[in-house]
Structure 1
Amino acid sequence: MGELESTARGRQLGEELRRRRERAGLNGVELARRIGWSPSTVSRMEAGLGNHSEVKLTAYLAHCGTSAPDAAEVLRLGEPGEDGYLVRRSVLRTLVLHESTAVGIRETAPLLVPGLLQTEDYARAVMHLPGSLTEDEIAARVAVRMDRQTLLRRRWPPRFTYLIYEPALRCPLGGDRVMHEQMLHLVFLSSRPQMTIRVVRLSDGARAAHGQQFALMEYADHGPVLYAENTFAGMFVENREDVETSRAFLDGIAGDALNEGQSREFLAALASDYDRPDGGAP
């Protein structure tokens, strides 16, 4: 790997290093002077550029006063894995890092409304699905999900494109009232200039039956990152072949989906259906 090559793994490691430096009240020049490095070395490490040895990482952390357990956690982030793939059991910090620095995000949603588009009540219904979380744990996770949505209100947000499959809109999570509010929320979001929401009808193409859920994030200063998750872990993919395959799949699904106006009408009709006095499902 070249010295100037940035990877998802390297950027996450760099972000964690920077957090420790700032926690120690040091700027990059001060830390470099303490260790005996050039300031550019610290900058490259925090930007995720190049490979850095465990000795070098340990020196950085030691001069930030990082505790041994905390240092061990950071060092694990630097452990080598298969090139182009980063798997994390706890993905939130890595996901937020990649979301917040993206200039464009395209996502498919076969079974659930995407997290950044969820209402608070819908998110709570989703969190209840595993059946193993306490109410306090659910409340904490919902709060984090709502905090992530500040990205939508940023002055210069990424360009979002969501391809939401029909089953995700017809599964009545939380009941009719929750779904009614969620459909109205999607209609409202779809009117924002940086937001495109398109519905994929099951009858509109064979690709709709594949049910692949992933997000493709694009960046101004480095290559795209593909993100997919399941119940146990999340995976960040930079492998060029996989990224291009997923990009082609997204293009195919977009070709099958309703256009923006049709999608908005479909969502509004579903909102009305969920608001039926008899509580009938759409």
Structure 2
Amino acid sequence: MANASRQAAWEFWGAELKRRREEAGLTQEALGRRVFVSGGYIGQFEQAIRKPQLDVAVRIDEVLQTDGFFERTWRKLIDDKRYPDYFAGAAELEPLATKICEFEPMIVPGLLQTPSYAQSLLLGGNPLATDEYIEDKVRGRLDRAVILKDASRPVYWAVLHEAALRVPVGSPSVMAEQLEHIARLTHERKILLQVLPFAAGAHPVIGKSLRLMEFEDAPPTVYTEGLYSGTLLDDPAVVKRVQQDYDLLRAAALSPEASRALIESAAEDHRRCVSTT
């Protein structure tokens, strides 16, 4: 589904929510209390500014007695086969973000991956997959990365653990190309990137992938990911705590200049492995 038609469909979803809420005699605040979100969120759902999580859509059906309408429509709209079900909601939010901050402990984030790196990573987790399946998933990641090329691109600030520079994904040439790509993006001032070195030691969020997204007309959201699972969090207290954790990560990380030097040095190390094989 093209972006424009998908947005129009979400606008229909929101208009139906408003119509059925009013038919039930509920204000936005009243419905919000019953489905455990704020009344402001209900308003944003109705205006298609923000997309609800699946559990919220299910509770809306229960409160408004709509026989699964909002859940079924949600699943159809969010069902983009390029992405796992648990990530689809976060992928929908990315193009709307004004700022994206993320931390990855072991791999390069999807928005920064080269085609060869993405392919190697996907093949590692899906050794029996068809070429068509892998190509479709790679295309999905490259499509997402377009937001970093737009003139109106969001501020993008990533912190990578040094392990992401060292742990091989694919061949040494794939790793070298990937790290050179990241260094080039920092040189072109398209992204801000810091590396959390091994010397920084342990940190409470090490081992956890997390992403903070800020928006023009909506509250910030946190996305965290585990094994075949992902969660969007928008509780203000939780988001504030994650923001504090991310600030501590940035404080412990190398400066952007020192990080670029380490990335370029790691790329050279991988290149030397290529030349000796």
Q: TM-score range by the shorter chain?
A: 0.7 to 0.9
Mapped pair 1:269 → 2:270: no
SS in 2 for 1:276: helix
Q: Give the Å deviation of 1:20.
A: 6.8
Q: 1:128 aligns with which of 123, 130, 133?
A: 123
The match for 2:93 is 98
Mapped pair 1:188 → 2:184: yes
TM-score under structure 2 normalisation? 0.73
Higher mean alpha-carbon deviation, 128-137 vs 226-235, is at: 128-137
The match for 1:225 is 221
The AA in structure 1 aligned to 2:73 is V
Q: Distance in 2 between matches of 1:253 and 1:151?
A: 25
* Conserved? CA contact 2:7–2:48, under 8 Å: no
Deviation digits for residues 9-31 of structure 1 (CA, Å, limit 9, x no counterpart): xxxxxx96832778xxxxx8xxx
Q: Give the Å deviation of 1:192.
A: 3.2
Q: Judging changes above 3 Å, is the alpha-carbon distance between structure 1 residues 55 and 275 closer, same or farther for their aligned structure 2 residues?
A: closer
SS in 1 for 2:85: coil
Sequence identity percentage:
25
Higher relative contact order (CA 8 A, sep 6+): 1
Q: Distance in 1 between matches of 2:177 and 2:275?
A: 14
Q: Judging changes above 3 Å, is the alpha-carbon distance between structure 1 residues 17 and 190 closer, same or farther for their aligned structure 2 residues?
A: closer
Q: Give the Å deviation of 1:236.
A: 0.4
Q: Tell me, which stretches of 5 or more residues in structure 2 are unaligned?
A: 24-41, 78-82
Q: Tell me, which stretches of 5 or more residues in structure 1 are unaligned?
A: 1-14, 23-27, 60-67, 79-87
* Conserved? CA contact 2:196–2:249, under 8 Å: yes
Q: Give the Å deviation of 1:206.
A: 2.6
Q: How many residues end up aligned between the 2 structures? A: 241
Q: Distance in 2 between matches of 1:238 and 1:21?
A: 21
Q: Judging changes above 3 Å, is the alpha-carbon distance between structure 1 residues 77 and 138 closer, same or farther for their aligned structure 2 residues?
A: closer
Q: 1:236 aligns with which of 227, 232, 248?
A: 232
The match for 2:72 is 73
TM-score under structure 1 normalisation? 0.71
Q: Give the Å deviation of 1:254.
A: 0.5
Q: Distance in 1 between matches of 2:46 and 2:99?
A: 25
Deviation digits for residues 196-226 of structure 1 (CA, Å, limit 9, x no counterpart): 0111101124318832210000112111100
Deviation digits for residues 100-139 of structure 1 (CA, Å, limit 9, x no counterpart): 1111111001010000000000000110122353222111
Q: Distance in 1 between matches of 2:76 and 2:135?
A: 28
Q: Give the Å deviation of 1:58.
A: 9.9
* Conserved? CA contact 2:208–2:225, under 8 Å: no
The AA in structure 1 aligned to 2:179 is M
The AA in structure 1 aligned to 2:46 is M
